Every structure is written in C-alpha cells, then in structure tokens.
Amino acid sequence: MESVGWEGSGAGLSAEEMAIAFRRLREHMPGRTLTAKGPKDQPDPFRSMVSCLLSAQSRDINTAAAAKALFARAATPQAMLALSEETIAATIKPCGLYNTKARNIRKLCDVLVHQLGGRVPETREGLMQIPGIGRKCADIVLSFSFDRPIIAVDTHVHRVANRLGLTNAKTADETADQLAGHAPEWAQRDGHFWLIQFGKAVCVARRPKCGGCFLSDLCRFYAARRSLP
C-alpha cells in the first residue's frame, strides 16, 4: 500500500508554510476553469450526485461510460424511478459494484422525489441523509454544483495533503476536516482543483515527481525520503 503521508515525529506545515504552498499551487495549477462542471462533467446537481456515486471504486473512463448510458435513459430522479433496479444495474455495469449502486440510485431518487420535492439539498448534512452519499460526494457536489468554498477530498487530495504536510490524517474525512480548519480561507474555493491537478500531474501515487516539484522544499514526505539512509 502506498504511503500517503510523511513519516516521523515532526510537525506538519505551519500556517505560514501552508499559505506559501497554496499560493504556489495557485500559480502553477489551472484551478477552477470557466468550463468546470459537476463531477464527471455533469451539468446539474442531480447528475453530479449520481455520477459521484457511480465513481466509487471505478476508473474514470468506466464511470463516464456508465453515466452516459444511464443519463441517456433517465436524466431526472422522476425518470430514474421509472426504471427497474435490474435495468439500472445492467446500464451501469461498466463501473462495477453495479447491483449495489443501482439499489442506492433507486433509494436516492425515491428520497429526492417523495421527501425532498425533487430538489438536491444544498447542505452537507442534507446531502449525507441521502442513501449512498457520504462526506466526499456531498462536498464534491457542494463545491462543483453549488460553488461552495469547500475543499472536497478524494483519493488524490487525501494523498497530496498528507504527503505535503498540509494535514496529518489517516482518513479522507479527517483530511477534509483539517483542511477546512487550517487551509487559508482564500484557498477553500479552488483548493480542491489545485490539489487534485497537482496530484495527477506531479505528486502521482506510485512515483511522485519530487525532483522537479515546486513544493519540494516544503514537503514533509520529500524531507522524510531524503533523510533515509
């Protein structure tokens, strides 16, 4: 298993170092572009939420294929409820865990239609009351679809934040809480974009490109690696 954090007993980044790190990320990464849409390029909160649910333990290309096929059949919670669980499962099969996801999609739509008037909640607490929606999906929908200043934490953000020393957390939820509490306020809106883009381009999972990294002088993971005999 890959190490997502730095090793040793030293402290993480100070508030000043954290601000420097985010300023550099802002300078080097594209951030939130004008064409940014919801998760997997979906145009509305409902499809963003369902796409996020589909993405669990699925490669992006498979999630995109499953979402495209599903939304071609039904693009609203009302239309989705007209489909059987078996039909949904067969349609989203490329993304894996399709039986469980189909069941949760039906439950999700039932709650939206019969309890929430067809509207996607605009709070984390409200979103997390919906079947199949956890903290990560809730924050992603809030950030992408409702433009809230929240650093949503996926696999890439969790890895990068803990490697750098922005956080020192074992779970994605702990990482999200620490970023919410300690990242500069001005970095909260676009922080997710900078960190995920950095994680895909530089701080990749298995072979991070530490040698040419613009954050190596701050990075606790890099410092720990250099100190090894």
Binding-site entries for [4Fe-4S] cluster:
203, 210, 213, 219
Measured between alpha carbons, how far is 174 from 214 in angstroms, rounded to an integer? 26
Binding residues: 203, 210, 213, 219
Q: Is 223 within 8 Å of 165 (Cβ atoms)?
A: no
Residue 212: alpha-carbon gap to chain centroid = 26
Measured between alpha carbons, how far is 173 from 109 in angstroms, rounded to an integer? 25
3-state class (DSSP) for residue 54: helix
Residue 21: alpha-carbon gap to chain centroid = 20
Q: Provide CB contacts within 8 A for 186, sequence distance 6+.
A: none
Q: 10 Å Cβ neighbour count for 146?
A: 16
In the residue annotation, 177 being an active-site residue is answered as no
Marked catalytic residue, from 101, 136, 139, 190:
136
Q: Provide CB contacts within 8 A for 18, sequence distance 6+.
A: 166, 182, 183, 184
Marked catalytic residue, from 154, 177, 200, 209:
154
178 is written with which tokens? 């620490």
Reference 78, options 115, 45, 110, 116; nearest CA is 110
In the residue annotation, 68 being an active-site residue is answered as no
Measured between alpha carbons, how far is 42 from 46 in angstroms, rounded to an integer? 9
Catalytically active residues are 136, 154
